[in-house]
Structure 1
């Protein structure tokens, strides 16, 4: 049972890391290369689409890691799992305080109603996102290390 939980947790967190890494280093660069209106519309669409999915993925990853930490409390590597869960908490808090407010504005923008500083706001979101990616990559690395 614990082995199944470990695999499901590691795969879930790993897929989340992959998606967020792709957003940071691939999708945002593709969108930023588009003409201004298309760029902004693409970011808004991505914000709506991923903004609906990611809360469940982040919280689900955290819950799975917490269950693993409790279920495996007498097994080697539990400290790594607890630390990974702590980092996932940090990523959720970062999301709620830093990224979600910007995303909630961005996903409603159109070329007709976007603010003058929309590009500045998206760059700020991007900087916070890079930091969040680093945090979840660290959490994923700890989970994988706990398996070995």
Structure 2
């Protein structure tokens, strides 16, 4: 049972890291290179689409890591799993306080109603997202290390 939980947690967190890495280093640079209207509409659509899924993914990853820490309390690597869970908590807090407010505004924008500083707001989101990606990569690395 513990082995299955370890594998499931690592895969779920690993997939989340892959998606968020792709957003940071592939999708957003592509969208930002498009003409303004297309760029803004693409960011807005991405914000709606991923904004609907990612809260469950982040919280689910945290719950899985917490379950692993509790179930494997007396096993080797539990400290690493607890530290990974703490990093996932940091990522959730960052999301709620820094990224979600910008995303909530962005997903409602259209070329007709976007604010003058929409690019600056998206750039701020990107900067915080890079930090969040680093945090979840750290959590994933700790989980993988705990497996070995």
Note whether the superposition's TM-score is higher than 0.5.
yes
Partner of 1:50: 50
Shift of 1:125: 0.1
Shift of 1:92: 0.1
Say if 2:118 is the partner of 1:125.
Answer: no
Give the 5 Å matches for 1:31-70.
Answer: 31-70=31-70
- Measure the CA separation in 2 of the matches of 1:32 and 1:101: 20
Shift of 1:134: 0.1
What count of residue pairs does the alignment treat as equivalent? 148
- Measure the CA separation in 2 of the matches of 1:71 and 1:2: 7
Shift >3 Å, 4+ stretches: none
Say if 2:125 is the partner of 1:102.
Answer: no
Question: Which whole-Å deviations, capped at 9, do the CAs of 1:75-113 have from their partners, x for residues lacking one?
Answer: 000000000000000000000000000000000000000
Any idea what SS the aligned residue of 1:40 has? helix
TM-score normalised to structure 1 length: 1.00
What root-mean-square deviation, in Å, do the aligned CA atoms of Structure 1 and Structure 2 show?
0.2
TM-score normalised to structure 2 length: 1.00
Any idea what SS the aligned residue of 1:61 has? helix
- Measure the CA separation in 2 of the matches of 1:75 and 1:14: 22
Partner of 1:92: 92
- Measure the CA separation in 1 of the matches of 2:36 and 2:54: 26
Any idea what SS the aligned residue of 2:69 has? helix
5+ residue gaps, structure 1, are none
- Measure the CA separation in 2 of the matches of 1:76 and 1:121: 44
5+ residue gaps, structure 2, are none
